[in-house]
Amino acid sequence: MFSLLLVAVLAQGPLTPPGPPTSPAPDAGVADAVVPPLPVASLPPATHDLFRRIQGRVSQVRIIERRSGTKSSIGSAFFVSEKGHALTNYHVVSDVVLHPEDYTAELDRGDATVPVRLLAVDVASDLAIIQVEAPVADFFRLEDREPPQGTRLFAMGNPRDLGTTIVEGTYNGLVRDALYERVHFSGAINPGMSGGPTLSGEGNVVGVNVATMGNQVGFLVPVTKARQLLDRTLALPAPPDAAALRKSVGEQLMANQQRITDRLMATELPKQVLGDYRVPGRWSPFLKCWGDTPHDPETPYTVTSYQCSSEEDIFLSSSHRTGVVTYLHQHVTSQKLGAMRFSALYSTLFSQDPDPVPATREDVTNFRCKSEFVDVKGLTVRAAICLRAYRRFPGLYDLVLRAATLNASTHGVDTSLTLGGFSADNARKLARRYLEGLSWTK
C-alpha cells in the first residue's frame, strides 16, 4: 500500500540517477516548486511491521462448554499488564459470568491453550478483565486520551476463527448523542474480533473492538473505559468468586438505570403534534425518532406513527438484552368507518402487544399487568401497565405501558412505552411522566 511504497522509496533514494542539480524553468512559479518529502518519523508505519511486533499480545478467547469439553464461542483478548491481565468484551465471556457451572474460558497462545480467570466486568461498557496464571513479558500500553479525528488506526482480532488478523481503518470520534459511549471506527470488524484492540500507529491501544454494522462501519469501546476498569481490577484485594461477579453485574445495571432515570426526569418532556393530539416527543438526545404514514387507498382508515428509541442496549446474554427506552405513538383516524367499526379497530390496535425487550423465561418472569381508566388533564385515557422481574438480578424489571385516548368516536391515539432494566419505582415514575405528555388540543 502507499505508505509501504513511500517508505521503500525514501530508503532507496531518489528514482532518478544522481547528477548535477537542475534549475527550474524561467517561468516556474510557486506551484512548480519541489515539495520536500515528509520525514520518515511522521509517516504511518508499515502494517506488516506493526503486526510482526505486537501479534503475540493478542490471543483468541475460547468459551468451553464443560460437559462436551469443546468450544461454544470465540472472541479476542489482549494483554495489558505483566501480571497476565487481558482485556476483552463482556459479551465474549457472558456465559462464564451467568453460568460458571457450565462454562469456562481459555486463551489460545498459539503453541498452547491456557486457562484464564475472570476478574471484573463493566457490563454497560461491554468490557471484561481476564487473567492467565503466568506473567507475560509483552503487553500493550493503553493510551491516555482519544486520538484526533481522522487518525489512521489498526484493529486486531480473530475473525471467524481464521487466526489473528490486522485491519486498517480510521478514527471518527465518539458517536454523537449515544446512550452508551462508543467510538465510530471506519474499518472491518467481524465476528470473532470482539474484545480485540484497536491501535495507534505506535502500537498503543486507543479502543476495544465491540460491534459492527457492516460496510466498514465498526464501533469501539473508548480507551478511557478500558483504563478505568483495569485500574479498578488492579486495586482488587483478591479475585472475586462467581457469586460476587454476578452481584457486581446487578449493581452496575442498577446504577445504569438510575443514571438514565435521572437524565430523563431532569429534562422537560417535549410535545409532538399528531392530528389534534400532543404526544411525548424526543425526550432526550440519545433517542432517535421517526414518523411515517402508509398510503393504501384500499384501507378505510389512516395510521400515522411516530416512534422513538434509544437504539442501543446492554448485552446480558445471547437471549437477554436490557437498558433500553423505546416508545411508539399511532394516530388513527377514519372518514369511512362509523363509530362502531372504528371502535372495534381501535380496540384491536390497543390489544396488540408491543415487542418487549428480548428475554426468555430463564431470564424474566411473566408480565403482571394492571389496567384502569385515568384522567390526564381532562383527557380520558385507558391505560395498562405491565411489569416483569429479572430472575438473576433482583430489583430490576421490564415495563410495558399501553394507553389509548377515549375522547372521540372516529379518531384517537394509541401509545406504548417500553423500558428495559429499571427499578419498579423508577419505571412507574417514568411511565407517569410519559402519560402526562398526552393532551388534546380541542
Residue 437 has pLDDT above 50, yes or no: yes
Cα distances (Å, whole numbers) of residue 253 to 67, 174, 194: 31, 22, 22
Question: What are the pLDDT digits (tens) for 135-149?
Answer: 998 999 999 888 999
Asked if 63 and 147 sit in the same domain, the reply is: yes
The DSSP-derived string for 334-345 is -SSS-HHHHHHH
Is 86 part of any domain?
yes
Residue 432's closest CA among 264, 284, 306? 264
Q: Dihedrals φ, ψ of 79, to 5°?
A: -75, 140
Asked if 230 and 297 sit in the same domain, the reply is: no
Asked if 165 and 274 sit in the same domain, the reply is: no
**Mean pLDDT score across all residues of the chain:** 87
**Per-residue pLDDT at 49:** 77
Give the domain-ending residue among 210, 239, 268: 239
Asked if 220 and 264 sit in the same domain, the reply is: no
Is 189 part of any domain?
yes
As a whole number of angstroms, the distance between CA 65 and CA 69 comes to 6
Is 363 part of any domain?
yes
Mean pLDDT value across residues 414-424: 96
Give the domain-ending residue among 179, 205, 239: 239
Asked if 276 and 187 sit in the same domain, the reply is: no
Asked if 108 and 189 sit in the same domain, the reply is: yes
Give the pLDDT band of residue 152 (cuts 50, 70, 90): very high
Give the domain-ending residue among 208, 239, 270: 239
**Per-residue pLDDT at 46:** 63
**Weakest-pLDDT range from 29-38, 95-104, 373-382, 414-423:** 29-38
Asked if 279 and 181 sit in the same domain, the reply is: no
Asked if 261 and 235 sit in the same domain, the reply is: no
Q: Under a CB-based contact definition with an 8 Å cutoff, are residues 98 and 392 in contact? A: yes
Do the bridges between strand 205-214 and strand 127-132 make them parallel or antiparallel, or are there none, so unpaired?
unpaired
**Per-residue pLDDT at 35:** 52
- If DSSP codes are grouped into helix, strand and coil, which group holds residue 352? coil
Asked if 291 and 177 sit in the same domain, the reply is: no
Question: In the numeric block, which cell numbers belong to residue 334?
Answer: 377514519
- If DSSP codes are grouped into helix, strand and coil, which group holds residue 23? coil
Mean pLDDT value across residues 386-400: 97
As a whole number of angstroms, the distance between CA 49 and CA 47 comes to 5
Residue 16 has pLDDT above 50, yes or no: no
User: If 0-12 CB within 10 Å is exposed, 13-18 middle and 19+ buried, where does residue 423 land?
Assistant: middle
Question: What are the pLDDT digits (tens) for 313-352?
Answer: 999 999 999 999 999 999 988 777 777 877 877 677 777 7
Question: What are the pLDDT digits (tens) for 252-305?
Answer: 999 999 999 999 999 999 999 998 899 999 999 999 999 999 887 777 778 899
Q: How many domains are there within the chain?
A: 2
Q: Rounded to the nearest 5 degrees, what angle is found at the Cα of 298, between the Cα atoms of 295 and 302?
A: 45
pLDDT-above-90 percentage for the chain: 66
Asked if 196 and 268 sit in the same domain, the reply is: no
Higher pLDDT, 315 or 17: 315
Q: Under a CB-based contact definition with an 8 Å cutoff, are residues 332 and 349 in contact? A: yes
Type of residue numbered 223: V
Residue 3 has pLDDT above 60, yes or no: no
The region that residue 196 occupies, defined by phi over 0 for left and psi between -120 and 50 for alpha, beta otherwise, is beta
> CATH number, domain at 392?
3.40.1000
Residue 69 has pLDDT above 80, yes or no: yes
Q: Under a CB-based contact definition with an 8 Å cutoff, are residues 197 and 203 in contact? A: no
Is 21 part of any domain?
no
Asked if 216 and 270 sit in the same domain, the reply is: no
> CATH number, domain at 183?
2.40.10.120
**Per-residue pLDDT at 298:** 78
Is 30 part of any domain?
no
**Which residue range(s) make up the domain with 305?**
251-440
**Weakest-pLDDT range from 41-45, 181-185, 264-268, 382-386:** 41-45
pLDDT-above-70 percentage for the chain: 89
Asked if 207 and 258 sit in the same domain, the reply is: no
The DSSP-derived string for 132-199 is ESS--S--PPBPSSPPPTT-EEEEEE-GGGS--EEEEEEEEEEPTT-SS--EEE-S---TT-TT-EEE
